[in-house]
A and B are shown apart, each in its own frame.
Chain A
Amino acid sequence: MSLVYQDVEAVIAKYREEKTPLLCILEEVQEKWGYLPRDVLGYIAQRLEIPSSTVYGVATFYAFLETKPVGKYVIRVCRSAPCHVRGAMNVLETLKKELGIREGETTRDGKFTLEVTSCLGVCGVAPAMMINDVTYGNLTEDRIREVLAFYRD
Chain B
Amino acid sequence: MFYRAHVLVEMTSGSIALGAAQLKEQLEREIARLGLQDEVKVLETGSFGAAIPSPFIAVYPDNIVYAPVSVQHVRKIVEEHLLKGRVVKELLFIGERGRDVTAFIPLSPMAKEKRVVLRNCGLIDPLNIEEYIARDGYMALAKVLTEMTPEEVIEVVKRSGLQGRGGAGFPTGLKWEFTRRAEGEEKYIVCNADEGEPGTFKDRLILEGDPHSVLEAMAIAGYAVGAREGYIYVRAEYPQSIRHLEVAIVQARERGLLGERILGTSFSFDVKIRRGAGAYVCGEETALLESIEGKRGEPRVKPPYPPQRGLWGKPTVINNVETLANIPPIILNGPEWFRGIGTPTCPGTKVFTLTGNVNTLGLVEVPMGITLRELVFEIGGGIRGGHGLKLVQTGGPSGGTMTPDLLDVPMAFDTLPRYNSALGSGALTVIDDTHCIVDVVRNFAEFFLHESCGKCTPCRVGNRRIVDILERIAKGLGTLEDLEKLSYLGHYMKATAFCGLGQAAPNPLLRCLEFFRDEFEAHVREKRCPQGICAMKPQAQPKKTLRV
- Does B451 reach chain A (CB closer than 8 Å)? yes
Say whether B545 contacts A124, CB under 8 Å.
Answer: no
Point out the residues of chain B lying under 8 angstroms from A4, CB to CB.
none
- Does A138 reach chain B (CB closer than 8 Å)? yes
Point out the residues of chain B lying under 8 angstroms from A137, CB to CB.
14, 17-18
- Does B295 reach chain A (CB closer than 8 Å)? yes
* CB within 8 Å of B: which A82-112 residues: 82, 84-86, 89, 92, 103-104
A136 to B201, CA, bound (A): 15
Say whether B443 contacts A62, CB under 8 Å.
Answer: no
A67 to B236, CA, bound (A): 17
A53 to B150, CA, bound (A): 44
A136 to B486, CA, bound (A): 36
Say whether A118 contacts B280, CB under 8 Å.
Answer: yes
- Does B123 reach chain A (CB closer than 8 Å)? no
Please judge, given known A-B contacts A58-B294, A79-B446, A85-B356, whether A119 and B199 are in contact too, CB under 8 Å.
yes
Say whether A63 contacts B201, CB under 8 Å.
Answer: no
Please judge, given known A-B contacts A81-B440, A116-B546, A124-B54, whether A27 and B275 are in contact too, CB under 8 Å.
yes
A63 to B276, CA, bound (A): 10
A23: nearest chain-B partner, CB-CB: B294
- Does A10 reach chain B (CB closer than 8 Å)? no
Point out the residues of chain A lying under 8 angstroms from B195, CB to CB.
121
Please judge, given known A-B contacts A104-B547, A116-B547, A124-B362, whether A22 and B294 are in contact too, CB under 8 Å.
yes
Bitwise, A112-150 to B at CB < 8 A (1) or not (0) is 000011111111111010100111111000000000000
Say whether B277 contacts A122, CB under 8 Å.
Answer: no
Say whether B198 contacts A80, CB under 8 Å.
Answer: yes
A125 interface neighbour in B14, B294, B446, B450, Cβ under 8 Å: B14
Point out the residues of chain A lying under 8 angstroms from B236, CB to CB.
27, 64
Say whether A62 contacts B201, CB under 8 Å.
Answer: no
Point out the residues of chain A lying under 8 angstroms from B204, CB to CB.
121
User: Which bracket fits the contact residues of B?
Assistant: 35 or more
A48: nearest chain-B partner, CB-CB: B294
Say whether B429 contacts A81, CB under 8 Å.
Answer: yes
Say whether B361 contacts A123, CB under 8 Å.
Answer: yes
- Does A69 reach chain B (CB closer than 8 Å)? no
Point out the residues of chain B lying under 8 angstroms from A116, CB to CB.
545-547
Point out the residues of chain A lying under 8 angstroms from B432, CB to CB.
85
Point out the residues of chain A lying under 8 angstroms from B199, CB to CB.
80-82, 119, 123
Say whether B356 contacts A63, CB under 8 Å.
Answer: no
A64 to B297, CA, bound (A): 13
Say whether B297 contacts A62, CB under 8 Å.
Answer: yes
A84: nearest chain-B partner, CB-CB: B443
Point out the residues of chain A lying under 8 angstroms from B363, CB to CB.
124
Say whether A79 contacts B277, CB under 8 Å.
Answer: no
Min distance, Cβ B23 to any Cβ of chain A, angstroms: 14
Say whether A61 contacts B198, CB under 8 Å.
Answer: no
A121 interface neighbour in B13, B274, B356, B397, Cβ under 8 Å: B13
Say whether A82 contacts B198, CB under 8 Å.
Answer: yes
Point out the residues of chain A lying under 8 angstroms from B545, CB to CB.
79, 89, 92, 103, 116
B235 interface neighbour in A20, A121, A125, A138, Cβ under 8 Å: A121
- Does A21 reach chain B (CB closer than 8 Å)? yes
- Does B349 reach chain A (CB closer than 8 Å)? no
Taking each of B13, B239, B295, which has the highest tally of chain A beta carbons within 10 Å of its own beta carbon?
B13
Min distance, Cβ A121 to any Cβ of chain B, angstroms: 4
Point out the residues of chain A lying under 8 angstroms from B239, CB to CB.
133
Taking each of B277, B356, B431, B543, which has the highest tally of chain A beta carbons within 10 Å of its own beta carbon?
B277
Point out the residues of chain A lying under 8 angstroms from B275, CB to CB.
24, 27
A63 to B275, CA, bound (A): 13
A19 to B362, CA, bound (A): 39
A126 to B13, CA, bound (A): 12
- Does B196 reach chain A (CB closer than 8 Å)? yes
Point out the residues of chain B lying under 8 angstroms from A26, CB to CB.
277
A118 interface neighbour in B16, B294, B295, B451, Cβ under 8 Å: B451
Point out the residues of chain B lying under 8 angstroms from A58, CB to CB.
294-296
A134: nearest chain-B partner, CB-CB: B16
- Does A65 reach chain B (CB closer than 8 Å)? yes
Say whether A79 contacts B546, CB under 8 Å.
Answer: yes
- Does B278 reach chain A (CB closer than 8 Å)? yes
Bitwise, B527-548 to A at CB < 8 A (1) or not (0) is 0000000000000000101110
Point out the residues of chain B lying under 8 angstroms from A89, CB to CB.
543, 545
Say whether A20 contacts B393, CB under 8 Å.
Answer: no
Min distance, Cβ A18 to any Cβ of chain B, angstroms: 9
Bitwise, B216-246 to A at CB < 8 A (1) or not (0) is 0000000000000000000111110000000
Point out the residues of chain A lying under 8 angstroms from B50, CB to CB.
124
Please judge, given known A-B contacts A81-B443, A119-B200, whether A61 and B14 are in contact too, CB under 8 Å.
no
A81 interface neighbour in B54, B356, B362, B451, Cβ under 8 Å: B356
* CB within 8 Å of A: which B45-74 residues: 50, 54
A52 to B10, CA, bound (A): 45
Say whether B280 contacts A85, CB under 8 Å.
Answer: no
CB pairs A–B below 8 angstroms (11 shown): A58-B296, A61-B297, A63-B279, A82-B355, A84-B443, A85-B432, A104-B547, A119-B198, A119-B199, A124-B54, A124-B353
Please give me the 6 A-B residue pairs with the lowest Cβ-Cβ distance, nearest first: A22-B294, A63-B278, A137-B17, A62-B277, A80-B198, A119-B198
> What 17 new A-B contacts, CB under 8 Å, besides A61-B296, A116-B547?
A62-B276, A62-B278, A63-B277, A64-B277, A65-B277, A79-B447, A81-B440, A84-B440, A85-B356, A85-B432, A103-B547, A120-B13, A121-B201, A123-B199, A123-B355, A124-B14, A137-B17
